[in-house]
Amino acid sequence: MTTTAPPGTDTLRARAGNALRRCGAPVPEAGPGGAAGGLAARTPLTGETLFTLPAASAEDTGRAVEEAAAAFREWRTVPAPRRGTVVKRLGELLTAHKEDLAELVTVEAGKIRSEALGEVQEMIDICEFAVGLSRQLYGRTMASERPGHRLSESWHPLGVVGVVSAFNFPVAVWSWNTAIALVCGDSVVWKPSELTPLTAMACDALLRRAAGDSGAPDGIHRLLLGGRECGGRLVDDPRVALVSATGSVRMGREVGPRVAARFGRCLLELGGNNGAVVTPAADLDLAVRGIVFSAAGTAGQRCTSLRRLIVHEDVADELTERIVRAYASLPVGDPFRDDTLVGPLISEQALDAMAKALEAAQADGGKLLTGGDRVLREQAPAAAYVRPAVVRMPAQTAVVREETFAPVLYVLTYRTLEEAIELHNGVPQGLSSSIFTRDQREAERFLAADGSDCGIANVNIGTSGAEIGGAFGGEKETGGGRESGSDAWRAYMRRATNTVNFSDELPLAQGVSFL
């Protein structure tokens, strides 16, 4: 396994600054950070600070919501196809600045180049989807029991949408929410992760330009750069009709009750502890490729990353050996290099969490087969580069049932498919799942109502790499939210049931007689 040192902090600062300029965003002051009330824009490539930014205050948060609420009152009356022109223009600008945004994603989130470009492509794709959606916000017409009456439903803009996003997809998840919310007639206030403010600044600049080019009202999008206090005020503000929050289960336990207490709406995308079942009928060549990308890609920092591999005992030894060999060939290091496949963890805290999980797994009888060791200590002492780990486990212990946001893959074995499904579903999370098999009966059993209990269930692909056309989200402690494609747009609108009497009579429903 090869390792390559990342560029220096000064080089990364210059690259980020140039990308911001090309996107039309201001370049913050360079500095070590740490100023009282300030926000440090750091890079996981070196673990050092690139810029310092002022953090949003309580007054800034209130002002942003007020401006978005004022813009909503005008924006909701604009015909949906015209609202779609803003998103169409945004997609054009994202296409023009795809390289710039990918540069910032790599600098701030540590993603390898192809994954960073893929994330920006996802933004472009959701813009195209949303533009088409702007002409398809369909309601229904239902049969009325009363003669001379028409019963139907219509969908209307909801209000201000507060978007709270996480570091691991610093731009894609924002675009899922924002592109759909805008064509639905909502305005957006975005509180990105404090770990990725630069990508947020670039996206905000491009959307402001798109809105200006399209004649949209000022204020349909507002950006808030700040910490937990900023997000908390957004969550508690009664003017925010919907809070769409992506993050940990712990965060969701805080956000959900607070929004519910004010009778607001919540869309939660929380933790995932994703599993893949491999049966004796699987194509092992295909399975190895899908497993390694899902488990080691993005350094295991996707909510859909594969964390549990549930393999039939007849093929477990062979498959595990092949995965360990594949892991040994994964280049770790500078994510800007085309041959690098694993970049850094986001922080030292993530590295510590991984080390504690591996220690607990081995205390439970697990055998560490490969990985888990830190690399590039001398070249980047403040960064957290680590080799992805594979652990053979005797059972699904407490540490396996927890989500560790790092490249740790636990291998479990089973005898019957029913046992595999029980193991798979025996965790609190329910985001993504997959089965590798060439037996159609096994595949259909996994997809059935008593099969996988996740929001995403795949056959012969890994757990990560969802397309924007389907609704994205999960069950149980994953929160139950749905974003992106399919009919996820309904979360951003309110439904009205309409009854029109076009007769000269006034019959009441259910045959009620009155007056």
As a whole number, mean pLDDT of residues 160-164 equals 98
Query: Is residue 281's pLDDT more than 70?
Result: yes
Query: Is residue 290's pLDDT more than 60?
Result: yes
Residue 428 CA to residue 412 CA, distance in Å, equals: 17
Backbone angles phi, psi at 405, to 5 degrees: -85, 70
127 among known catalytic residues: no
What is each CA distance from 112 to 22, 343, 481, in whole angstroms?
A: 21, 6, 28
pLDDT at 515: 78
Contacts of 294 (CB under 8 A, 6+ apart): 274, 276, 304, 305, 306, 434, 462, 463, 464, 465
Residue 273 is which amino acid? Answer: N
pLDDT at 5: 94
Q: Residue holding tokens 């989500």?
A: 403
Other residues' Cβ atoms within 10 Å of the Cβ of residue 245: 27
Cβ–Cβ < 8 Å for 121, 461 = no
What is each CA distance from 13 to 32, 199, 201, in whole angstroms?
A: 12, 13, 15
pLDDT at 164: 98
pLDDT tens digits for range 302-334: 999 999 999 999 999 999 999 999 999 999 999
Residue 318 CA to residue 134 CA, distance in Å, equals: 50
H-helix or E-strand containing 17?
A: helix 9-23
Pairing of strands 471-472, 483-484: antiparallel
Measured between its terminal Cα atoms, the distance across the chain in Å is 85
- Of 275, 301, 299, 294, nearest to 427 by C-alpha is 275
303 among known catalytic residues: yes
Query: Is residue 2's pLDDT more than 90?
Result: no
Kindly state which CATH superfamily the domain 58-270+479-495 is placed in.
Aldehyde Dehydrogenase; Chain A, domain 1 (3.40.605.10)
Architecture of domain 274-469: 3-Layer(aba) Sandwich (3.40)
Give 502's DSSP letter: -
pLDDT at 305: 98
Rounded to the nearest 10°, the torsion over CA 46, 52, 54, 55 is: 20
Q: Is 436 exposed, middle or buried, given 0-12, 13-18 or 19+ CB atoms closer than 10 A?
A: buried
Q: SS3 sequence, 111-159?
A: CCHHHHHHHHHHHHHHHHHHHHHCCCCCCCEECCCCCCEEEEEEEEECC
Query: Is residue 31's pLDDT more than 90?
Result: no
Backbone angles phi, psi at 134, to 5 degrees: -60, -15
| Token digits of residue 44 | 């996981």
Residue 296 CA to residue 371 CA, distance in Å, equals: 11
- Domain ranges across the chain: 58-270+479-495, 274-469
Residue 343 CA to residue 296 CA, distance in Å, equals: 10
pLDDT at 30: 77
As a whole number, mean pLDDT of residues 466-482 equals 96
pLDDT tens digits for range 187-236: 999 999 999 999 999 999 999 999 999 999 999 999 999 999 999 999 99
Query: Is residue 35's pLDDT more than 50?
Result: no
Catalytic residue among 23, 230, 303, 454: 303
Residue 333 CA to residue 282 CA, distance in Å, equals: 32
Catalytic residue among 269, 403, 442, 477: 269
Pairing of strands 29-30, 48-54: antiparallel
Residue 499 CA to residue 456 CA, distance in Å, equals: 37
As a whole number, mean pLDDT of residues 294-303 equals 97
Residue 121 CA to residue 106 CA, distance in Å, equals: 14
Task: Please report, rounded to a whole number, the percentage of residues in the chain having pLDDT higher than 70.
Answer: 98
Query: Is residue 32's pLDDT more than 80?
Result: no
Residue 106 CA to residue 89 CA, distance in Å, equals: 24
Query: Is residue 33's pLDDT more than 60?
Result: no
Cβ–Cβ < 8 Å for 428, 479 = no
Compute the mean pLDDT over every residue in the chain, rounded to the nearest whole number: 96
Query: Is residue 38's pLDDT more than 90?
Result: no
Query: Is residue 34's pLDDT more than 70?
Result: no
For the chain, give percent helix, strand, coil, nearest 5.
Answer: 40, 20, 35
Residue 130 CA to residue 42 CA, distance in Å, equals: 32
Query: Is residue 485's pLDDT more than 60?
Result: yes
pLDDT tens digits for range 77-105: 999 999 999 999 999 999 999 999 999 99
